[in-house]
Amino acid sequence: MRITKLLGILVAAAAMFVSAAQAAKIGETAPDFKLLDIKGKEVSLGDFPDQVVVLEWVNYGCPFVKKFYNEGHMQAMQEAAKEKGVVWLSICSSAPGNQGHMTADEWVDAAKGKGVNANVLIDEKGEVGKLYGAVTTPHMFVIDEKGVLAYNGAIDSVKSTKTADIATAKNYVVAAYESVLDGGSVESAITKPYGCSVKY
C-alpha cells in the first residue's frame, strides 16, 4: 500500500516535471485538448476557431472559488463574456476522491443549483490541468482568436476569500480578454494565481 502511494507520488512528480517543461507559455499557441463536458459531449479547443476562449479552473469546495460563485459574481462574469462572443470553459481537475470531484450527473445538479450556464469540462485525470500548468482554483487562462495564450494567472488582484473584496479588485481576466478583443496587447499577461491548490 505504502509502495503504491510512493509510486503514485513519483509518477505524479514526474508528470508534473514533464508538464512543467511544456506548460503553456504566453505568446505561444495554447495546447489543444479534448475533454468530456458534464453533459457527456466531447469539447476541444479546436471547436472554437477565431474565438477568444477563457479557461477557468474550478473546485466548488474551495473557499476562493466560493468567493466568486456564492453571490453570483462568477456567473455574471461568464454571462458578460458570452455577450461579447467570448467562450468560457470551466475545467475541474480534481481527481476522484479529492475535494471538488463530482460525477457528470452531480455536476449538472451543482451547476444548476448555482445558476451556472458556462460549460464545465471534467478533467479527473488532471491531464489538461498539468498541460496548462494550472496551480490553483481559480486559475485563469485567456486564449486569443488565433489560439495564442494571452493571459495566465490570477482572477483578480486582491487575494482573499471575502466576496466583499471583489468590488475593489482589478479583474485581470476581463482586462485581458477586452485587450485581446480590442486587438491590443495584454498589460499584465502573467500574474501569480491565488487560491486553493488544484486537487490532482
Partner 1 sequence: MIRFFKLAAVFLISSASTLFAQEFETGEVDREHARVELVSEIDQVATGDTFDVALRFDMIDHWHLYWTNPGDTGMPPSVEWIVPEGVTVGELEFPTPERILTEPFVSYAYEGEVFFLSKVSVGEDVDVSNGLRIQVVANWLACADICVPGDANLQLDITGGENSSESKWSDVISETRASQAQPIAAGMQFEVLENSISLSINWAGLEGESFEDLYFYAEQEGVVDSAKKQTYSQNGSTVIISLPKSEYFSGSVEKLSGILYNKSGFSAVGGSQAIFVDSEMEAGSIVEATSSIEATSASPENESDLTLGKALVFAFLGGLILNLMPCVFPILSIKIMGFVQQSGEDKKKVFSHGLAFTVGVLVSFWALAGTLIALRSTGDRLGWGFQLQSPEFVAVLLVIMFVFGLSLMGVFEFGTSAIGLASKVKGSGYGSSFFSGVLATAVATPCTGPFMGPALAFALSLSALQSLTVFSVLALGMAAPYLILSANPKLVEALPRPGAWMETFKQAMAFPMFATCVWLVWLMGAHVGVDGLAGVLGGLLILSIAAWAYGKWSAPHRKPTTRRVSMIVSLVIAVAGLWMLYPKSSDTEGTVATSGAKSADKYGLVWETFSPELVASLRAEGKPVYIDFTAKWCLTCKANKTVVFNSEEVKDRFEELGVVLVKADWTKRDPVITDALESFKRSGVPLNVLYTGTENGEPLLLPELLKPSIVLDALDKI
Q: Is 64 in the site for partner 1 (CB under 8 A)?
A: yes
In the bound state with partner 1, the residue whose beta carbon lies nearer, of 78 and 136, is: 136
List the one residue from 129, 133, 138, 147 that touches partner 1 (CB under 8 A). 133
Instruction: Supply 37's cell numbers.
Output: 463536458
In the complex, the smallest distance separating the C-beta of residue 47 from partner 1, rounded to whole angstroms, is 28
Q: Under rule CB under 8 A, how many of the chain's residues touch partner 1?
A: 38
Q: Which is nearer to partner 1, 54 or 62 (CB)?
A: 62
CB under 8 A: which stretch of 9-17, 47-55, 140-148, 167-175 binds partner 1? 9-17
**Measured from the CB of residue 19, what is the shortest distance to partner 1 in angstroms?**
9
**CA 113/CA 60 separation, integer angstroms:** 12
Residue 5 or 50 having the CB closest to partner 1: 5
Question: What minimum distance in Å lies between the beta carbon of 171 and partner 1?
Answer: 17
Taking CB under 8 A as the binding criterion, the range among 41-49, 112-120, 128-136, 176-184 that sits at the site for partner 1 is 128-136
Nearest to 139 by CA among 92, 195, 75, 66: 195
Q: Which of 196, 176, 166 is nearest to 72 (CA)?
A: 166
Residues in Cβ contact with 191 at an 8 Å cutoff, skipping those fewer than 6 apart: 152, 153, 154, 157, 172
Least distance between partner 1 and beta carbon 98 (Å): 7
Segment holding 67, helix H or strand E: helix 63-69
Backbone angles phi, psi at 183, to 5 degrees: 80, 10
Which 141-170 positions form the footprint of partner 1 (CB under 8 A)? 152-153, 159-164
CA distance 164 to 178: 24
Q: How far is the CB of 97 from partner 1 (least distance, A)?
A: 10
Q: Is 7 exposed, middle or buried (0-12, 13-18, 19+ CB in 10 A)?
A: exposed
Of 9, 18, 76, 80, the residue at the interface with partner 1 (CB under 8 A) is 9
Report cis status (omega within 30 of 0) of the bond before 138: yes
Q: Return the C-alpha cell found at 69.
A: 460563485
Interacting residue ranges for partner 1, rule: CB under 8 A = 9, 12-13, 16, 20, 23, 61-64, 67, 70-71, 98-99, 133, 135-136, 152-153, 159-164, 188-197, 199-200
